[in-house]
Amino acid sequence: MLRNLLINTLSIFAVSYILTGIEIDTITTALVVAIIMAVLNVTLKPLLVLITIPLTIITFGLFLMVVNVLVLYAAEALIGGFHIAGFWWALAFSLLVSVINSILMGPEKT
């Protein structure tokens, strides 16, 4: 779990340097973003997914990307030193962090 948090923190910090529309002040802020995102993904995201089931079905699952962006905006509201310039930046941030995390974490052993 600690390994995953560290990888997620590094991914978040790296992507903030790649995307000019995402601002993260320090590596400590990136760690806080990773922790808050983990908490929001366990608490807020399932609720949003449940509420938006009809839209998710109509859009063949694409609306889940909007849910990810909404969770990012919730994190931004809670964390000082973390700023998202707009919807498309948040979407790109979410996708890039997911890709980098998948690469760095490798195949899960169950």
pLDDT in tens, 79-93: 999 999 999 999 999
pLDDT in tens, 5-31: 999 999 999 999 999 999 999 999 999
Identify whether 110 is part of a domain.
no
Identify whether 22 is part of a domain.
yes
Domain count, the chain: 1
Query: What distance lies between CA 58 and its chain's CA centroid?
Result: 24
pLDDT value of residue 19:
94
Identify whether 47 is part of a domain.
yes
Identify whether 77 is part of a domain.
yes
pLDDT in tens, 38-51: 999 999 999 999 99
pLDDT value of residue 107:
73
What SS3 class is residue 83?
Answer: strand
Identify whether 26 is part of a domain.
yes
